[in-house]
Structure 1
Amino acid sequence: MKTSATALCAGAVALSSFSLGAEAARRHYRNHHHHHPPQLPAAPLRALPYPQVPLPFDIPGAQYLPLSWADVKGWGDDNHLAAYKTFRASCRSINAQNGSAEPKALGGSLSEPCRVARSLEISDDAKAKTFFEENFAPLRISRLGEPDGFVTGYYEPVLEGLRTQTDVYNVPVYRRPSNLFVRGYKQDSLSLPNKGPVYRKIGRRKLVPYYDRGEIEDGKIDGRGLEIAWLKDPTDLLFAQIQGSARIKFDDGSSVRLNYDAYNGYPYTAVGRILIERGIIPKEEMSMQKIREWMAQNPDGAKELRRANRAYIFFREVNLSDKEEAVGAQGIPLTAGRSIAVDKSLHVYGTPFFIEGELPIESERAKTPFHRLMIAQDTGSAIIGPARADLFFGAGQEAGRVSGRLRHPMHFVMLVPKGLDPSVRAARLPVPDPRPSEKIAKLFPQSDPGKGTAKPAAVAGAMDNKNETVAIAGPVPLPVPRPAMEPASEPQRPVKKRPLRQQ
């Protein structure tokens, strides 16, 4: 593509300079002749050496390998009907966008498979499998230079809490403060972004960075009526913020569902990584449960560790029953075991990913085969890269135990809509010009620019028994990629001198 782009630019320069030269010649003719030349039909523009072809499917920092369905390990063993139902749920949001422009690689191409899915009422696993095979092409994807992707897990915590503060329940869960400001968004916008700077408004115009976790824990926003509920353990709040949602059950049997609403503008720092770097917990033993155990045994160290992660999450109440799962960033309830969070700057919600490998599902040391078609329906500030996913496992303690021990490399196969099949689009790309024949190459040898310019040589020889000499051309210098083109100067009209007027 770089060669094609260079040729296109060079061709454009040549055409523009040709037009400038032609215009200068016409002006020169009009200045020196009294009559106008006959109007001749304009010569057709020469075609550029390389046609303008749309860029093929592209995700920054990723490498791909088109596959056949037979090459996708474990594809035939999955529950395709469950994946189809999850994909169809995403289509509700995709169809509601009315084909709005999407700048990422898939663009709006998912609207066509969604149109097909909307017309089908599938209740059979084989038909669901056929749907994906007929409407998508499998594409192995990973970060550039790496063979695999990487997965972690997340869940929705179920916590005990109170509506009012007590000596035991004294950890506040805050809603978004009114003085939190993000450029480009209204202060009452629904669900502010989880990346980029966040400010605190002072007066009408002055903006300063928002409070970090330590300042908020020290009471900087206390007494403003922002408390949704009160918990008894700051570690519970930390993990609810990491997960992005929570269910809080009160002593009267009622409950409240919370979802991510905003953050304070500081990058997320993984507390587990800090414990690994300090040699407190070995990397191979790291899990959410290990972090909880260490924090419970070291209250002072836990406070310092929490504050090392300066990011702080604010929640909003959502109207969901206990039977419904948390709502993801796509705006629809997630599906346990089928929904994933991806890097929203690279991927489009609704994209199917087939993830294959081994995970410790049954126990910490288990190697459970995992080959499952997942649907991108959520995102997270720590989910960065083309083959990076957070697997959603549902709500409760068991889901927390499973998701808390996942930090594993896995194979990622991205399902690309047939309209964006990279192998089909790549076939339309132009090929380079053919190399010159061996005979022509000998007549016009090229010198190595790094070793100086070779001197031309002339060799006399007999041809067909006649006294004729033939000069063999010396090396022909290659043209510069984009020659500097000086604009044609307009010829000056001769100035006719007039005699001075007599006084």
Structure 2
Amino acid sequence: MTLTGLAGAALAAVLALSAPAYSEGETVAKLLSFSDLDGWDEDAHDEALRVFLNSCDRIKGFEWPQVCRVASQQTNAKTFFELFFRPVLIEDANDALFTGYFEPELSGSLTRTAKYRYPVYSLPKDRTARSPYYTRRDIGEGALAGQGLEIAWVDDPVELFFLQVQGSGRIQLTNGSTIRIGYAGHNGYNYNSIGKELINRGVYSEHQVSAQVIKNWVRRNPVEGQELLYTNPSYVFFTRRDELDAASGPIGAMSRSITPMRSIAVDPAYITLGAPVWVEKDGNEPLRRLMIAQDTGSAIKGAQRADVFYGTGDTAGELAGRIRDTGRMVVLMPIQLAYGLEEQNET
């Protein structure tokens, strides 16, 4: 059978240096059993259930409220998932691809100084969806200066660029406090991969490119590096998230905090936001675990495309930056939806 879509869409910026091309076409759904899931019995299902409950009430679809009520009363998470869901493999023409993302930590100040001179901007009031807006170059050259839009000032333009790619972060201030910021909007331009730009210029081959490699190159070549950043016209604006405590993750596309190694970003055209997803990521650091689809991203396109949230800070960033792996992911659908697919397959 073919599927044309399962949910709505939202935006959170993520890094994908050379995401596979995507065009709409046939999508095939295949009903599996839990015995088909590699490593299913060994996972900590109770961890996944807690993350699932964190955003369950925001899942769209009439099948979900009853499932969420039952979930809140469960004492055996593995049994709950096996009783009320069925695994469904959704595939399109593209190969599976897993990447990683994280919440950056930057150094900053609430006032501009010689060291802290790169602004983190809030969403301008004159930014409307129907009109073109300033490009990254325009903004970098001062188009928004003097409007009082600065949330803070940071000391590194490269880290600021990657903060925008990730879509949320923390800024450690000179007075010892920390502010949390999250995605508020963007300037309306599509993201252009600067990693792919370096590959096209012959600076690096595809297997050499990572976030850290890009950062190091820009710092070694400050003039050319700034021009490289300007080749991505997209620009992200932020808002303070003072309601978040230090232990909470950043806010995902479902307006709830996401959880390291249990939350993933997906394409909501194929996977309902909030749904459990069984991840079988291969590569040097394979993953076999149940995750929750709580985020989206402008580069996350396709039925088998996902971004794994690795956490906060430099260590998480290093781990996330190494991930570009194959594998597969299997959606857990409420039984009535899954059996509906099976009946359509039989007709």
RMSD: 1.9
Whether 1:116 aligns to 2:59 is no
Q: CA deviation at 1:87?
A: 0.7
The structure with the larger Rg is 1
Quote the residue 2:310 is aligned against: 393
Whether 1:375 aligns to 2:292 is yes
Quote the residue 1:479 is aligned against: none
SS in 1 for 2:233: coil
CA change 1:427–1:278 in 2 (3 A) is closer
Contact 1:110/1:350, CA 8 A, preserved across alignment: no
SS in 2 for 1:272: helix
Whether 1:181 aligns to 2:128 is yes
Whether 1:339 aligns to 2:304 is no
Quote the residue 1:139 is aligned against: 88
Deviations 1:142-200 (A, max 9, x none): 223x4x42111111101100111111111000000010112xxxxxxxxxxxxxxx52x
Contact 2:122/2:151, CA 8 A, preserved across alignment: yes
Q: CA deviation at 1:371?
A: 0.6
Q: Following superposition of structure 1 onto structure 2, how do residues 40-79 of structure 1 map, counting pairs within 5 Å?
A: 61=25, 62-79=27-44
Q: TM-score when scaled to structure 1?
A: 0.62
For residues 131 and 283 of structure 1, the distance between their equivalents in structure 2, rounded to whole angstroms, comes to 43
Contact 1:56/1:425, CA 8 A, preserved across alignment: no
Q: Report the structure, 1 or 2, having the larger strand content.
A: 2
Structure 2 regions of 5+ residues with no counterpart? 7-23
For residues 291 and 345 of structure 2, the distance between their equivalents in structure 1, rounded to whole angstroms, comes to 29
Quote the residue 1:164 is aligned against: 111
SS in 1 for 2:282: strand
Contact 2:3/2:28, CA 8 A, preserved across alignment: no
For residues 345 and 336 of structure 1, the distance between their equivalents in structure 2, rounded to whole angstroms, comes to 23
Deviations 1:283-325 (A, max 9, x none): 1122111111111111112111111110000000012122211
Amino acid at match of 1:387: Q
For residues 387 and 415 of structure 1, the distance between their equivalents in structure 2, rounded to whole angstroms, comes to 14
Amino acid at match of 1:172: P
Q: TM-score when scaled to structure 2?
A: 0.89
Contact 1:90/1:349, CA 8 A, preserved across alignment: no
Deviations 1:327-377 (A, max 9, x none): 111011111110111123443211111111324xxxxxxx12211111011
For residues 322 and 347 of structure 1, the distance between their equivalents in structure 2, rounded to whole angstroms, comes to 30
CA change 1:288–1:57 in 2 (3 A) is closer
SS in 1 for 2:46: helix
Amino acid at match of 1:153: G
Of 334, 337, 345, which aligns to 1:420?
A: 337
Q: CA deviation at 1:419?
A: 0.7
Q: Which has the higher contact order (CA 8 A, sep 6+)?
A: 2
Contact 2:271/2:331, CA 8 A, preserved across alignment: no
Quote the residue 2:133 is aligned against: 210
Of 357, 363, 378, which aligns to 2:281?
A: 357
Quote the residue 1:409 is aligned against: 326
Quote the residue 1:91 is aligned against: 56
Structure 1 regions of 5+ residues with no counterpart? 2-54, 95-101, 183-197, 200-208, 360-366, 430-503
Of 167, 171, 182, which aligns to 1:248?
A: 171
For residues 266 and 276 of structure 1, the distance between their equivalents in structure 2, rounded to whole angstroms, comes to 22
For residues 149 and 423 of structure 1, the distance between their equivalents in structure 2, rounded to whole angstroms, comes to 22
Q: Aligned pair count?
A: 327
Amino acid at match of 2:183: Y
SS in 2 for 1:368: coil
Contact 1:57/1:420, CA 8 A, preserved across alignment: no
Percent identity between the two aligned chains:
41
Contact 2:198/2:204, CA 8 A, preserved across alignment: yes
CA change 1:415–1:154 in 2 (3 A) is same
